[in-house]
Amino acid sequence: MSKDFLLALDQGTTSSRAILFDKSGAIKAVAQQEFPQYFPEQAWVEHDPSEIWSSQSAVMAEVLAKADVSARRVDSIGITNQRETVVVWDRKTGQPIHRAIVWQDRRTADMTSLLQSGGHGDMIREKTGLLPDPYFSGSKVKWILDNVEGARKKADDGDLAFGTIDTWLVWKLTEGEVHVTDATNACRTMLMNIHTGDWDDELLSLLEIPRSMLPEIRGCSEVYGECALSATAGVPIAGMAGDQHAALFGQACFERGMAKNTYGTGSFVLMNTGEEAVKSKNNLLTTIGWRIGDKTEYALEGSIFISGAVVQWLRDGMGLFRTSPMIEALAESVPDTNGVYFVPAFAGLGAPYWDPHARGLIVGLTRGSTDAHIARAALEAIAFQSCDVLEAMAKDSGTDLKELRVDGGASKNDLLMQIQSDYLQGRVVRPKVTETTALGAACLAGLATGFYKDRKEIAAQWEEDKVFEPERGAEEIKESRKNWKRAVKLSRDWHESE
Ligand SMILES: Nc1ncnc2c1ncn2[C@@H]1O[C@H](COP(=O)(O)OP(=O)(O)O)[C@@H](O)[C@H]1O
Ligand SMILES: O=P(O)(O)OC[C@H](O)CO
């Protein structure tokens, strides 16, 4: 039977998705399931690994049924996932010993501040391309080992396994046979040296994490094992990358200097820097774009923790509208924010501020402020945050960005994309397929099996849907950009440590 399809498993922060692509990169079918978020304490965020697995395996079966395609016609599976989120499980029982600690969780803020004040910041930056922040996996693993009864002894005895979500899914898909991660997920743990491509003993000993817990680090495009589940039994798992890296690949940003921004729960801007691991002088991260065969390509990244999530908060927390897309009409009903600025630092601030103690605020309110102004200020905030990161990126890379390729749930919002282009004073380009994260994972799998010959074939499939050009001049936006920075200043260092 001919193999006509690639299956992408896209395990995101708020939902698990499975998408079936045909060879031209067109979507044949999508299945999606949201799963519960747990907020046990202020600024803590957890997921239940078994709910992640049950939602992901359910959508995998559902998408094939929806498309009426049998697993025998699926060439291979590509996995992509929310990054940094930590699962620790017992190797013997396969049971997690704690809920997954999610990338947004701030419980280890004091721990990472100590790493900084203890003089480890430069070493961490040099080796990992990251900076000490609770965002990354390492401090979360240490927290589990320190706080779950009996965990440290079990870890020392070699009975525990650690994984980011990619690792957890492969473990489940292969029924405990394969314990691997890929270079892009590994490089977000703060435990890997991005220059050697291996776990780093100095970092492991600093965080007291035994090497025996860790998965093997593999490339992004190779066969890791075969699926053991009945719905997809025998299909090779052949692609794996963190969601932002997969999106960079799916956007065909294959040349140095090309960049994308994914507007999901957070926003993540990545710029390809080729084989050079560019060191940021402006508080961006140096990250692995992908590793294919023995070649590693790098990227600069600006990670913004809250973007689409602010829309969700206005929807669910404030009840301003019923569905996320409805924010567009509400925000469009006013010509501007009437002086309102909204800093959505719900989970502290990521790049380029890196302040885990910042908290959200809305300023500039008057008796004339309405829900529409607040909605518009939320969209402006999404755009402002990306501009802050892109400004830093231009300085670090020494290149002015020619265009920004966009994707993710909130990129469907035309008003937001126009605001982005205005504040950026540059071209914003949205492709026909905005599921580029899943597409990237599928393509990585297809490259490994020979379904695709080379990257050129993939790049040729990328098609533009809509281009946004600035409608306002540089002078017109100057005042707003200045006020945004004033608002950010006010949000800083708000939460006091215990
Ligand atoms: N039309 C829209 N305008 C603004 N935000 C949107 C729109 N549609 C979806 N969103 C936001 O995008 C996010 C979902 O995007 P998605 O790429 O699925 O995220 P994730 O992968 O992080 O779960 C949600 O936070 C939602 O509020
Ligand atoms: O699930 P997303 O799309 O919000 O992405 C989460 C990021 O990978 C976190 O680093």
Q: What is the ipTM of this complex?
A: 0.97
Q: Coil, helix or strand for 22?
A: strand
Is 22 in contact with 3 (CB distance < 8 Å)? no
Count of beta carbons in the 10 Å neighbourhood of residue 486 = 11
| Pocket around ligand 2 at a 6 A CB cut-off | 12-13, 82-84, 103, 242-244, 264-266, 303
pTM over 0.90: yes
Residue among 15, 45, 82, 301 whose CB has most ligand 2 atoms within 8 A, to mutate: 82
Q: Distance (Å, rounded) from C-alpha 432 to C-alpha 34?
A: 24
User: Could you tell me which of 46, 37, 34, 41 has the C-alpha nearest to residue 85?
Assistant: 46
| 84 known ligand binder | yes
Tell me how far apart the terminal alpha carbons of the chain are, to the nearest angstrom. Answer: 62
Closest-CA residue to 137 (of 172, 76, 88):
88
For residue 15, what are the β-bridge partners? Answer: 34
Q: Are 493 and 357 spatial neighbours (Cβ–Cβ below 8 Å)?
A: yes
Amino acid at the residue 352: P
**CA separation for the pair 311, 385 (Å, rounded):** 14
241 CB-side CA count, 13 A: 32
Q: Ligand 1 centroid to 415 CA: how many Å?
A: 14
State which amino acid sits at residue 56.
Q
Look up residue 356 and give its amino acid: P
Q: Which pLDDT score, from 0 to 100, does residue 397 have?
A: 83
409 is in an annotated binding site: yes
* Residue 339 marked in a binding site: no
Enumerate the domain spans of the chain.
Answer: 5-244
Closest CA to 314 of 342, 355, 351: 342
Q: What is the pLDDT of residue 475?
A: 87
- Residue located nearest, by CA, to atom 10 of ligand 2: 83
> Which of 403, 334, 394 is closest to 368 using CA atoms?
334
104 CA → ligand 2 middle, Å: 9
- Note the pLDDT of residue 317: 93
The whole-angstrom separation of Cα 262 and Cα 246 is 11
The domain defined by 5-244 carries CATH number 3.40.50.300:
no
CA 459 to CA 251: how far, in whole Å? 8
Phi, psi of 97 (to 5 degrees): -95, -5
Q: CA–CA distance from 347 to each of 140, 231, 296, 396, 416 (Å)?
A: 15, 38, 31, 26, 22
Specify the DSSP class assigned to residue 99: P
Please give the Cα distance from 240 to 231 (Å, whole number).
20
Encoded tokens for 448:
């490994």
Ranges of residues in the chain with a pLDDT under 70 are 1, 497-498
Predicted local distance difference test score (pLDDT) of residue 497: 60
Q: What is the pLDDT at residue 362? A: 98
**Amino acid letter for position 496:** E
Residue 18 contacts residue 436 (beta carbons within 8 Å): no
- Amino acid 493: pLDDT: 82
